[in-house]
Amino acid sequence: MARKNRDADWHAEEPAEAVPAEPCWLCGRPLGKTVDRFHPIPKSRGGRDTVPVHPICRETIDANFSASELVRHAQAGIALTDNETVARFVKWVAGKPVDFHSATKTGR
């Protein structure tokens, strides 16, 4: 009887396995505290699916692709890293902390 209870307790105390961390859609790194949702196909073009990205990654996408370019990439199945600037960014950000965020809104 006592043993049975202990068994039950042991199971109850098993740490809840964390949901497998979804990597960033753009750079593939684990996500940090702040997660942005990005529309691979812009909402304005009828896209409803979102993917998790770092805020800095979303800004990079926004800065390098127009809505129609995003649609073209999504429909052709071309990774955004096909863009040289984005590819360079992904390589650069790979060495940064997951919550790294620099002000990219410069040069207005």
Q: Least distance to Zn ion from the beta carbon of 49, Å?
A: 17
Is the Cβ of residue 8 or residue 30 nearer to Zn ion in the bound state? 30
User: Furthest-apart CA pair in the chain: how many Å?
Assistant: 72
Is the Cβ of residue 8 or residue 94 nearer to Zn ion in the bound state? 94
For residue 24, state whether it binds Zn ion (rule: CB under 5 A). yes
Within 25-54, which residues bind Zn ion (CB under 5 A)?
Answer: 26-27, 54
- Tell me the C-alpha distance between 102 and 34, whole Å: 14
For residue 86, state whether it binds Zn ion (rule: CB under 5 A). no
Is the Cβ of residue 6 or residue 104 nearer to Zn ion in the bound state? 104
Q: Least distance to Zn ion from the beta carbon of 16, Å?
A: 26
Q: 52: part of which helix (H) or strand (E)? A: strand 51-53
Q: Name the site residues for Zn ion (rule: CB under 5 A).
A: 24, 26-27, 54, 57
